[in-house]
Structure 1
Amino acid sequence: MPDWANWVTETVNDEAGFRTSLRVDKPVRTVDGEQALAVFDNPSFGRVLTLDGTIQVTTGDEFVYHEMMSHVALFAHGGARDVLILGGGDGGVAREVLRHPVASLTLVEIDRAVVDLMVAEVPSVSAGAFDDPRLSLVIEDGAAFVRDTKATYDIIVVDAPDPIGPGAALFTDVFYTRCRRVLRPGGVMVCQSGMPFLAGDWLRGHAATLRHVFDDVSFFLSTVPSYTGGPMAHAFATSDPALKAVKQQALEERALSLDLAMRYWTPAVHRAAFALPPYIAERVAPS
């Protein structure tokens, strides 16, 4: 349970000797279900959701993560019709995906309490996405869903929590093999890949696991202020190497056709995000 009187401290990076604390100005609500959920207000980050004590979403900076987790894959692909989100019960990635002319979006969230809490207390994140007729919400373990489903998709977004506890199942060789099975030829799977500065050894193993499954694996970066410890890495896995190198002009034409106002993603940011500093490039390079 958070210490509402003072600060909420995230301890997920204790092994690296690093903690993050946010001051609680106003406690809002806690829920003990599949996971321990808490919502509170902070003067810089706005309304904050924590999951098992780890910062998941803040209204102040959620646009960075959600735009990059969705638009990089969607604009690189250029013609996605069917999208699968595994996790993402806050609705932020769904919100961004549904700004594209996709035919269907399936969102698989293990904990219904996440969806209900976010819609009730932080509705700006999903912004009505759960009411869009193109969205099908499935309350199920994402690993079990990709094991059993017969459907296939153009884009898969693995919006997983950190690879600890139940979330670890969404970072395994078996899980990624099942994702590849339901990913159509020329499709893209994107997932969050942690903080390279704090978890470099883990990232090296993560990259090797992905390359064991997918034909082409690369990484791009985003900077989400509440995810402290440096930039966040995102994996971009596909069977088509050309998708990670779509030219800026093509991205600009695709963006212009949709006329979407963004706060972080642009065609130039998209291209630059794949340019990795040497300390990260070395960690994700093929062995």
Structure 2
Amino acid sequence: MGDATSGPLEQTLYEVRKTIVGQDALLERMLVALLARGHLLVEGVPGLAKTMAVKALASAVGGEFQRIQFTSDLVPADVAGTRIYNQREGRFDVSFGPVFTNLLLADEINRAPAKVQSALLEVMQERQVTIGRESYPAPDPFLVMATQNPIESEGTYPLPEAQLDRFMLKVLVGYPSATEEFVVVERMTSPPARPTPVLDLDTLRRFQSETDDVYVDPRIIEYAVSLATATRDLSGAGLGELARYVSFGASPRASINMVLGAKALAFLRGRDYALPGDVRELSRDVLRHRIVLSYEALADDVSADDLLDRVLGAVSTPQVSEPAR
């Protein structure tokens, strides 16, 4: 595979980093989601450049960008679009909503009521929008990056587990280091550098197709399944003392997304084969929002990541190297 593919993708990250400082994990996960045709849920306090990151990525890949600020008075038509009566022509015309874009930022998704969340989740899952009696395909490629603010819970509508499961990855964004923050302040108080388009949408679609062809050894699939199964049967993984902290473990969608994510991460790093390390590296992002914690976990201040650290330690990583050519 080599530089022919990894070069443009590295250049894309380089262009985005002209604007974004220190969010390397988030930027990499955004590209993984794009290549694997998945969606991203990002949790972090305000002011950590989540909006700017997806906007910069849209510029670098030459795609369209739209942002929806979710609020409690939003209705589904504000997201998907609606039919408007054209009096002059005597017919109904369709007015498309902001979901008809390549990269969509759904800001503070937990501030909108369930009906609005469902309208967004339909297009995420089905890649189409229903307006009236007609269905319209979403653009291709199509990535939703939804954000949640973990601080304020008043007036919010938390996403149900079934809807959280639609997100391929959930990434936690933390504060920058003092050095990174210095660079952020320096950049933000000077004229902004605009990302130059590096990819076009046809190239991105080709890269998505090539990501599908990345080779995955059956032992890597077994490893992904073992990790997901361990969250459902902690006793079977030798972690019986933690079973009281989990009400429900991860669904089979987690295993699927760990493998799809591993293929995309391998492709991003210039390989045409996945390694167990790719699954391991993405496992927390794939699993953390799919584990339903019990009240005891909340009482004992045990997080999903605390449990996943133990699961990753308990499930042995297979020894898989480069496949024979």
Which has the larger share of helix?
2
- The structure whose residues are more often strand, as a share, is 1
* Bucket of the pairwise TM-score, normalised by the shorter protein: 0.3 to 0.5
Higher RCO (CA 8 Å, separation ≥ 6 residues):
2
- Give me the TM-score of the superposition, normalised by structure 1: 0.36
TM (norm. structure 2) is 0.33
